[in-house]
Structure 1
Amino acid sequence: MTYPKIPSASEISSQFCASIGAAQRKETPYRHWLFKEIFPEPLCTGILTLPIAPPALGRTDGTRNSYNDQRSFITPTLREKFPTCAVLAEALQTPDVARLMAKTCAIAVDGSYLRIEYIQDLDGAWLEPHHDIPEKLFSMVIYLFIGPDAKDWGTDIYDSDKRWVGQSAGDFNSGVIFVPGENTWHGFEPRSIIGVRRLMEINYVAPNWRDRAQLCFPDQPIRTG
C-alpha cells in the first residue's frame, strides 16, 4: 500500500485555483492576498511525511542564503524520487494556475520558471526584515506547521521604515502572496521554535534566474496557453 494517497495534479490545481480565487486582498502595509485551504489535505500529509530531515543549523544569521547547500527545493531529482513532489510541481506548472497568478498579481508570467522550496525551521532560525528580489515575480508562503506554539510562528510584517506592524496568523494550510517591491518588508523575529516550523515558498522567477538547480522544471518555462 502506498501511503499517503496522493491526489491528482488536476485535484491539486483545482483546489489551488479555488483558494486563490477566494483570497482576501489587503492594501496595507503593502498589497498582499491572504488565502486558506490551498492544498487538499492528503497532499499536506504527503508533504509532512516526506523523508527529508530538517537541517540542524543552530542559531542562524537571519538569512537563508548563508546555508543554500542545505535548503530543499523541488528539483527534477526530488520529482523523480518522491511522487508528492512530482504531482505538486506538475499541478503548479499548469496553464490554468499560470493564468490565474498572472491575473491576480497583474504580472506577466510567460517564460518564467516554477520554484518551490520546502522549508523546515528548527529552534534558532530567524529572518531579518527584508524584501524579495524583483526576479521573483510573486512570492507565496504556505504555512504547514502544527503544534501548540504554531499560532506564534507566522511571518512578521513591517512598514516601509522597517517598523514591525503585525504578524500573519499562520493557520495550517493558509498563507500569503505578494509581488516583491521596495516596501514589501517581512521576516521572522527570533523566538522559540519547539518542534519544526514547516512551510512552502512558491515563486515564478524571471528567465534570468541564476541558480537553475533550484527550479522544478529548468527546461520548461511557464506558459499560459
Structure 2
Amino acid sequence: MTDDAPLLAAVSTHLISAFQQAESRESPYHHWRLGSVFPDAVARGMTDLPFTPPVIDDTRGRRETHNESRRFFDQEAIATLPICHAVAHALQSRAVIDAIESRCNLDLTGTNLRIEYALDTQGFWLERHTDLGVKKFTMLAYMAQDPGHEDWGTDIYRDKESPPERVPAHFNTAMIFVPSNHTWHGFEPRKINGIRRTLIINYVTDEWRNRHELAFPNEPITRA
C-alpha cells in the first residue's frame, strides 16, 4: 500500500456509486445524471490545483481554437498532483470501467482515458456539437463553486436547431452520455461571474492524435 492508496480507494468508491445510482433520462436524448461524483475533499480540492484560466479571445464556439492553453490530467499532472493521480488512476481502474460499461452498455476495450480540466470565464461559449468520431464516452463533471454556478451547466438539444435544455451544474455532479449522431450539446452564451470549472472525461479510440493530452497514452483499457 502506498500513501496514495486510501485517496485512490475513496475516489474509486465514489465514482462506482455515482455510476451505479445514476439517473437515466431520455430527453432530449438518452443520458444519465450523477450526484456526489467525488469525495467532498477531492471535489473541493480541485479549486486549489495549480491551473489558472487562460486569457483568451473569442473561442468562436470551439475549444480547439485555443488548444495551446488547455489543461489536462496528463502524465506530468498525474505524477506531481495527488488529486490528479487519484482521479486518473480511478478512472483507469477495472472496477470503475466495469461500472461505466454496465451502466451505459458499452465496451471501452482499447480506448484511452482523456481528462480535460476546463476553466471557462466570461465570454466563453460553445457551439452545439455531438462528440461523434473517436470519443466513445463523455462525462461532464461540474466543479464550480462561484455564485450562480448552478446555471453554468451543459446545454443539450434534441437536434441541431431545437431550443436548449440546460443541465443544472450543481457542485460535484455530472452528466454522461454515449456519443452518437444525436447527442447534441454546447454552452449558450451567458454571464459567468467567476470560473466555470468542468472536468471533461472521455474514453477515446487509438486514432486520437494529441497523445500528450491522454492520462495514460501507452496504456489502453484492457479486459484484464
TM-score normalised according to structure 2 size: 0.94
Structure 1 residue matching 2:43: 3-state secondary structure: helix
Q: Tell me by how many angstroms 1:102 deviates.
A: 1.4
Letter matched to residue 208 of structure 1: E
Percent same amino acid among aligned pairs? 38
Q: Tell me by how many angstroms 1:143 deviates.
A: 0.4
Q: Tell me by how many angstroms 1:7 deviates.
A: 5.4
Structure 2 residue matching 1:72: 3-state secondary structure: coil
- Structure 2 unmatched runs, 5+: none
Q: Any runs of at least 4 consecutive aligned residues in structure 1 with deviations exceeding 6 A, and if so which?
A: none
* Structure 2 Cα separation of the partners of residues 21 and 206 of structure 1: 24
Per-residue CA distance 1:12-43 (angstroms, 9 max, x = gap): 11110001100010112111001100100111
2:190 maps to which residue? 191
Per-residue CA distance 1:28-67 (angstroms, 9 max, x = gap): 2111001100100111122110011110114321100111
* Structure 1 Cα separation of the partners of residues 96 and 175 of structure 2: 16
Q: Tell me by how many angstroms 1:137 deviates.
A: 0.8
Contact preservation (8 Å) 2:150, 2:171: no
* Structure 2 Cα separation of the partners of residues 173 and 185 of structure 1: 23
* Structure 2 Cα separation of the partners of residues 160 and 195 of structure 1: 30
TM-score normalised according to structure 1 size: 0.94
How many residues matched?
221
Letter matched to residue 42 of structure 2: L
2:114 maps to which residue? 115
1:18 maps to which residue? 17
2:152 maps to which residue? 153
Q: Tell me by how many angstroms 1:167 deviates.
A: 0.2
Instruction: Write the mapping of 1:115-194 to structure 2, written as runs, cut at 5 A.
Output: 115-194=114-193
- Structure 1 unmatched runs, 5+: none
Contact preservation (8 Å) 1:128, 1:189: yes
Contact preservation (8 Å) 1:98, 1:223: no
Contact preservation (8 Å) 1:7, 1:40: no
Instruction: Write the mapping of 1:1-225 to structure 2, written as runs, cut at 5 A.
Output: 8-225=7-224
Contact preservation (8 Å) 1:99, 1:224: no
